[in-house]
Amino acid sequence: MKLEKNPLIPYARLCRADKKMQGSTETKRAVIGFIISLLAGLLILIQGIVRLVRAEWALDFGFGEIPRRLFGETFLTTRGIFAVVFGIVVLVGAFLMYRPGKEMAGGIIVLVFSAVSIIAGGGFFVGFVLGVVCGVLGLVKK
């Protein structure tokens, strides 16, 4: 009995070699920067929502009473609106950072709006720090 060679074996080897070549040309995504900047954007957004829902109960850690007495509830509500807007923009920057070819634009957006969010509270300050770090990570595509 004569064993015949399978004609599909060379094709299978060619497909494996093709997959290896395709894997080497994949674009590098800023995954770590994306995940952590999502967290930063959510923290900034949550703080803005807390300020809007309950402006008198805002977590200002010691300096919330003075602006409330000087400017009234409008000041904290305005800071809440700014925090919500900054949080949404940081989330948009995070999604841009994940798209191939848009890492630089997303990193700049996350970096700038996280830094500016400090005037609105900065996402309990943790969102500010995470956003600035992840903006830099997005710029170097990590």
Q: What residue spans define the domains of the chain?
A: 30-139
* In contact, 33 and 138? CB cutoff 8 Å: yes
Q: What is the pLDDT along the chain (142 residues), one digit of tens a residue?
A: 555 565 555 555 545 544 555 554 566 777 888 999 999 999 999 999 988 887 655 445 455 566 666 666 677 788 889 999 999 999 999 999 999 889 899 999 999 999 999 998 888 999 999 999 999 998 888 7
